[in-house]
Amino acid sequence: MLSISKTYKKFKYLVLFFIVSCSSGSSQNNETENQDSIVTNYPSHPMVWEYSAPESVGMNSDILDQAFNYAFKEGSFTQAAVVIKDGKLIYERYRGITNNEAETLASLLNSSSNLYKDIYGNRNKESLITSWSTAKSFTSVLVGIAEENGHIDSIQNSASDYISEWSSDNRNTITIKNLLDMRSGLYPACYDFLNNSLTECTNSSDSSSGGNIVFSDDQMTGCIDRNYAAEGIFHPWYNNGQRIYSKGDFVYSNCDTMVLGEIIFRATGQDIQTYAEYNLFSKIGIDASWWKDFTSDGQSNGNYLAYCCLDTTARDFAKFGYMLLLNGVWEGSNQKYESYVNKIKNITSYGLQFWTICAKPQSNDQCNEWIISTIGFDGQYIMIDFSRNLVVVRASLYQPIQNLSQEKKMKLVNSDISNSNWVATVPRGLGANLNTNFNPSQFFKLVTDSIN
């Protein structure tokens, strides 16, 4: 675990940081890259896949290499990318931060480029990435598993069956499906620095990201205590205040997913980390750890952040996508969750904590082909193409910062990361006012161009 020095007190930019749900030159030029970062000899994974050369599944190696050159070009801040085709691990690449990227961060954040080279240096297939809001999709699948296992009667039932705080008022009409689709009708919560509490968001910059609840030590209580948003009026948090809000409109909310994590906890008697380890992670060979908030109460010395912050490897992200590609079936098991996966396949735009993205860059508002994807802040993607039997993963540079505790308990001290535990992705997770030049639709198109 890395402890960052007091140098980070310079970084006053953190006050402007908010979690966002969605939002590369060839790696040979990267001086900090591992020699073996382009892996060509993959071991077989008995539970998930075996390695095969691209040509064996009808893909062109040269074109695929060009696709990865794009994903890892200078300024992409890409750490990892993986392609799975026909159940086989076809291609993966990893790298640390480039010299130019480190210098860009240093100029934006008034610090030393060597600092970033030290933190985000060599990366390989064993290096952790983090999910940000890609974790929402994991939480969704756990809800589906809990439904299939009979722990949750139906996602169409009232959430108040488990969130008893809602049972005696009009919130008892909110279904679990409403929470999954971000249509609960509850206001999005943001952190009030003056009163140190979660309250209704007051501006679009906070709410567009789902609400900056990361600043709260207890990220659960305020999420449960929310009320319905007022209808028929303009809200500054709703579509930049340009539309009148109606109950049931889509409002992206980190709190809605936090409540889903609490539903799993109350329905099963297990927090999402424990429930996932037994019912999902162990089944598909994933070693993953969820971050918690910083309270000593809650589910288990803190509340697990169901909406974000699941640490694992890029290969393990690919295993999750591959399980969905198999319609919720894992190899060597009679368990399957095809019914829930079919619901995911049929979403439009957003639903069940998954997104659709266009399979190629759009020149206008028209898209002729959509794929299912997870999306996380700073560009964490698990793209799933059911028609091509294809999974494509991309993740940004990441380092967990644990200056207060070796536990993954989130504590973001305003403007002082030296006294924080934080999920430091690059570039915006460090507070740099800079967007990566990576485009998921462009990368996906280049990958599919390699299919003969």
Query: Is 29 a domain residue?
Result: yes
Q: 153: domain CATH number?
A: 3.40.710.10
Query: Is 99 a domain residue?
Result: yes
Q: Are 89 and 54 in contact (CB under 8 A)?
A: no
What is the Cα–Cα distance from 180 to 136, expressed in whole angstroms?
Answer: 9
Closest by CA position to 446, among listed 43, 20, 24, 47: 24
> Could you tell me if 146 and 279 lie in one domain?
yes
> Could you tell me if 419 and 323 lie in one domain?
yes
> Could you tell me if 322 and 427 lie in one domain?
yes
What is the Cα–Cα distance from 38 to 61, expressed in whole angstroms?
Answer: 13
What is the Cα–Cα distance from 37 to 89, expressed in whole angstroms?
Answer: 15
Give the H/E segment covering residue 268: helix 254-268
Query: Is 401 a domain residue?
Result: no
Side-chain half-sphere exposure of 281, counting CA atoms within 13 A: 18
Query: Is 28 a domain residue?
Result: yes
> Could you tell me if 138 and 73 lie in one domain?
no
> Could you tell me if 262 and 344 lie in one domain?
no
CA 437 to chain centre: 18
Alpha helices, DSSP H, located in 278-334: 282-284, 314-325
Query: Is 7 a domain residue?
Result: no
Query: Is 179 a domain residue?
Result: yes
**pLDDT of the residue at 19:** 34
What is the Cα–Cα distance from 186 to 308, expressed in whole angstroms?
Answer: 19
**pLDDT of the residue at 365:** 79
Give CA angle at 137 (131, 143), nearest 5°.
130
**pLDDT of the residue at 208:** 78
> Could you tell me if 168 and 268 lie in one domain?
yes
> Could you tell me if 157 and 187 lie in one domain?
yes
Structure tokens at 109: 């954040």
What is the count of structural domains for the chain? Answer: 2
Q: What residue numbers bound the domain in which 378 lies?
A: 24-132+308-360+368-394+408-452
Under the phi-then-psi rule, with left for phi > 0, alpha for psi from -120 to 50, and beta for the rest, what region is 88?
A: beta
The DSSP result for 220-288, as a single string, is SHHHHT--BPPSSSB-TTSGGGTSB--TT-----HHHHHHHHHHHHHHHSS-HHHHHIIIIIHHHT---
> Could you tell me if 110 and 250 lie in one domain?
no
> Could you tell me if 128 and 139 lie in one domain?
no
Q: Is the pTM here over 0.75, yes or no?
A: yes
Last residue of a domain, one of 286, 319, 334: 286
> Could you tell me if 112 and 243 lie in one domain?
no
| Cβ contacts of 385 within 8 Å, gap of 6 or more | 359, 371, 391, 392, 444, 448
pLDDT means over runs of 10, the chain (452 residues): 39 36 34 36 46 95 98 98 96 98 96 96 97 98 96 98 98 98 97 95 86 96 98 91 92 98 98 96 94 96 98 97 88 75 96 97 88 98 98 98 94 84 95 94 98 94
Q: What are phi and psi of 272, to 5 degrees?
A: -65, -30
Query: Is 296 a domain residue?
Result: no
What is the Cα–Cα distance from 379 to 325, expressed in whole angstroms?
Answer: 21
**pLDDT of the residue at 3:** 39
Counts of helices then strands in the chain (DSSP H, E): 13, 16
> Could you tell me if 195 and 143 lie in one domain?
yes
Structure tokens at 386: 């059911």
Q: Are 400 and 2 in contact (CB under 8 A)?
A: yes
Q: Are 147 and 164 in contact (CB under 8 A)?
A: no
Q: Are 452 and 128 in contact (CB under 8 A)?
A: no
Structure tokens at 336: 């399957």
What is the Cα–Cα distance from 375 to 22, expressed in whole angstroms?
Answer: 5
Digit-coded pLDDT (tens) for 178-197:
999 999 999 999 999 999 99
| Cβ contacts of 150 within 8 Å, gap of 6 or more | none
Query: Is 438 a domain residue?
Result: yes
Instruction: Give the amino acid at 206.
Output: D
Give strand ranges (E) for 236-379: 289-290, 310-312, 350-351, 354-358, 370-376
> Could you tell me if 148 and 119 lie in one domain?
no
